[in-house]
């Protein structure tokens, strides 16, 4: 029998993000959670140095903090079971010159000839690598993303090939290609608070728990973590008896995440 997900009520103070967040997305999600009155999906975490490193759900974590909650539901996974991929960014609706100018304006960032990722593949065919002087790799990556995020539309893609971007987006200016990371890099970023940019890491997690729809009123109650955990366990047991917990093998497309 397949093991069920490990769901835990955890203090939000124990959660550590490995990536930056977009404040606009946090505010939008905060408003939606407040209106719905539920935590729809658990954040996915791995344990590291007595903390819970958030692999997926950074925006959700900050939205719940913004609501003043002290606890949230997380799914704890074994890092050995996690496959880590990389999102690349298609920057759209600007000119290549505008994008390069914005990158060069960032303190301590320099553009070089093609020396590998991180690099910018321009619609013109030019390829430029980006380097950071006197800063960590993660800080350089965050600064690079900060040059364009929130200024022009950005779409995440799994393929950094410029030809692929050109076949899908008629308004693209560049594909920003990021280096490959592993889960250890993510844990180090979180524990050391040397955060990666938002929208770069992509996790494939087997047995992921979705649509928990846990009532916020339970998380808002006065009480210990153990007491709220008991309420969570009772809810899961009740839904299991009612046949409402299902495991799907097939690939799923979500159209309103």
Quick check: is 193 in a domain? no
Quick check: is 46 in a domain? yes
Region of 49 on the Ramachandran plot (φ > 0 left; ψ -120 to 50 alpha; else beta): left
pLDDT at 247: 84
Q: Which domain CATH number covers 70? A: 3.90.1530.10
Of the candidates 216, 244, 245, the one whose C-alpha atom is nearest the C-alpha of residue 228 is 216
Residues 104 and 173 in one domain: yes
- The per-residue pLDDT for range 114-164, each reduced to its tens digit, is 999 999 999 999 999 999 999 999 999 999 999 999 899 999 999 999 999
Number of domains the chain contains: 2
- pLDDT exceeding 70 applies to what percent of the chain? 98
Quick check: is 186 in a domain? no
124: its two tokens: 């013109």
For residue 188, the surrounding DSSP H or E stretch is helix 183-191
pLDDT at 73: 98
d(CA 157, CA 175): 9
- The per-residue pLDDT for range 55-67, each reduced to its tens digit, is 999 999 999 999 9
Quick check: is 256 in a domain? no
What is 4-55 written as a DSSP string?
PPEEEEEEGGGEEESB---HHHHHHHHHHHHHHTEE-SPEEEEEETTEEEEE
Residues 93 and 80 in one domain: no
Quick check: is 138 in a domain? yes
For the chain, what is the mean pLDDT? 92
Cα torsion 117, 118, 123, 125: sign: negative
Residues 209 and 221 in one domain: yes
Residue 257 has pLDDT above 70, yes or no: no
d(CA 33, CA 24): 14
Quick check: is 185 in a domain? no
What is 202-243 written as a DSSP string?
EEE-TT------EEHHHHHSSS-HHHHHHHHHHHHHHHHHTT
Instruction: Calculate the CA dihedral of residues 1, 210, 200, 145 and round it to 10 degrees.
Output: -170
Residue 1 has pLDDT above 60, yes or no: no
For residue 146, the surrounding DSSP H or E stretch is helix 137-146
Residues 92 and 166 in one domain: yes
Indicate the pTM of the whole model: 0.84
CB 94 within 8 A of CB 217: no
144: its two tokens: 């690079």
Residue 40 banded pLDDT, cuts 50, 70, 90: very high
For residue 88, the surrounding DSSP H or E stretch is strand 88-92
Residues 125 and 108 in one domain: yes
pLDDT at 25: 86
Residues 78 and 114 in one domain: no
d(CA 127, CA 121): 5
Residue 256 banded pLDDT, cuts 50, 70, 90: low
Quick check: is 130 in a domain? yes
Residues 59 and 101 in one domain: no
State which residues form the domain around 155.
Answer: 88-177
CB 5 within 8 A of CB 73: no
CB 170 within 8 A of CB 121: no
pLDDT at 2: 52
Residue 186 has pLDDT above 70, yes or no: yes
Last residue of a domain, one of 133, 162, 177: 177
Q: Look at 24 and 218; give whichever has higher pLDDT.
A: 218
């Amino acid at each position: 029998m397949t093991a069920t997900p490990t769901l835990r009520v955890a203090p939000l103070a124990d959660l550590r993000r490995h990536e930056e967040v977009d404040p606009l997305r946090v505010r939008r999600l905060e408003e939606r959670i407040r209106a719905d009155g539920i935590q729809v999906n658990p954040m996915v975490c791995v344990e590291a140095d007595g903390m819970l490193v958030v692999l997926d759900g950074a925006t959700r974590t900050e939205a719940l903090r913004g609501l003043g909650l002290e606890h949230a539901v997380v799914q704890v996974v074994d890092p050995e079971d996690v496959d880590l991929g990389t999102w690349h960014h298609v920057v759209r609706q600007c000119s290549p010159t505008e994008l390069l100018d914005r990158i060069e304006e960032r303190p301590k960032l320099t553009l070089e000839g093609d020396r590998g990722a991180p690099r910018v593949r321009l619609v013109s065919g030019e390829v430029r690598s980006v380097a950071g002087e006197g800063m960590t790799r993660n800080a350089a990556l965050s600064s690079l993303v900060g040059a364009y995020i929130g200024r022009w539309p950005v779409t995440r893609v799994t393929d950094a090939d410029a030809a692929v971007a050109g076949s899908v987006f008629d308004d693209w200016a560049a594909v920003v290609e990021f280096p490959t990371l592993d889960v250890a890099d993510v844990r180090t970023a979180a524990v050391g608070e040397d955060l990666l940019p938002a929208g770069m890491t992509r996790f494939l997690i087997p047995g992921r728990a979705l649509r928990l729809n846990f009532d916020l009123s339970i998380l808002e109650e006065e009480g210990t973590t153990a007491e709220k955990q008991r309420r969570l366990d009772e809810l899961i047991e009740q839904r299991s008896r009612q046949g409402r917990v299902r495991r799907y093998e097939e690939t799923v497309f979500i159209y309103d995440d």
